[in-house]
Structure 1
Amino acid sequence: MGFDQYHEPAAELSAETRTFARMCANLTEEAEAIGWYHQRISVEPDAASRAIMHDSLAEEYKHFSMELEFLLRRTPVWRETARGILFQSGDIVELGNAAEGDAEAATAPATDSAAADGAGLGIGSLQGRA
């Protein structure tokens, strides 16, 4: 059985990238499972069955959250963007737009003028030394 999670030849991908792809696939699968449980719970007439499904749903929330945290810890720009959106009040789209700008600014390379005087690298005091 083949795996469709890679869009590039797997042999050319680093182990870190393959792990990242697997965790992204896991995150997707957990999100799908959460959606399935919500649908099943909404139509299940038996209270005992619904209670078991709610318990299973809680496990899916936990797994999704753990996988998301794993990915965020390894992707600083994603984490920075998420910080500006998650657990915030206000318009989600506005928060997203602001967070995207903040993350871009935090990861942007130094400007030409900053790089030219060494300020962007924090080595201004080393200028002029041979």
Structure 2
Amino acid sequence: MSDYHEPAESLSEKARSLTRALNSLKEEIEAVDWYNQRYDVEKDKSLKNILKHNMEEEMEHACMTLEWLRRNMDGWDNELRENLFKEGEIGHH
């Protein structure tokens, strides 16, 4: 199964790199969700702490990838500046 919707050989190297980054971002966010669910139900405090640590590392990875996208894919910088770290209702800027 391919990550591409167009023939890979037709895509530029930049487009292929962007696809790798976008897929990595999806995977990191999915990992945050998995660790969060495990953390939520875990009773053993020691394991719970490990799961929280793992979740926070996945958040770091997601943020690093998002920053790479901001620097390398048109549109991300503007959208992040317009939508992050604002007060008030989300979506009403």
TM-score (norm 2): 0.94
Which blocks of at least 5 consecutive residues in structure 1 are unaligned? Answer: 96-130
SS of structure 1 residue aligned to 2:4: coil
Could you tell me which amino acid in structure 1 is paired with residue 70 of structure 2? L
Could you tell me which amino acid in structure 2 is paired with residue 14 of structure 1? S
Partner of 1:51: 49
Could you tell me which amino acid in structure 2 is paired with residue 80 of structure 1? N
Partner of 1:5: 3
Higher relative contact order (CA 8 A, sep 6+): 2
Partner of 1:42: 40
Give the drift of 1:57: 0.9
| Post-superposition CA distance 1:83-123 (Å, at most 9, x none) | 0111111111112xxxxxxxxxxxxxxxxxxxxxxxxxxxx
**After TM superposition, where is structure 1 displaced by more than 6 Å over at least 4 residues in a row?**
none
Identity rate, percent: 39
Q: Tell me the distance in 1 between the aligned counterparts of 2:87 and 2:43.
A: 35
| Larger gyration radius, structure 1 or structure 2 | 1
Partner of 1:25: 23
Contact 2:29 2:62 in 1 (8 A): yes
Give the drift of 1:77: 2.1
Partner of 1:116: none
Q: Tell me the distance in 1 between the aligned counterparts of 2:91 and 2:66.
A: 20
Q: Tell me the distance in 2 between the aligned counterparts of 1:75 and 1:10.
A: 18
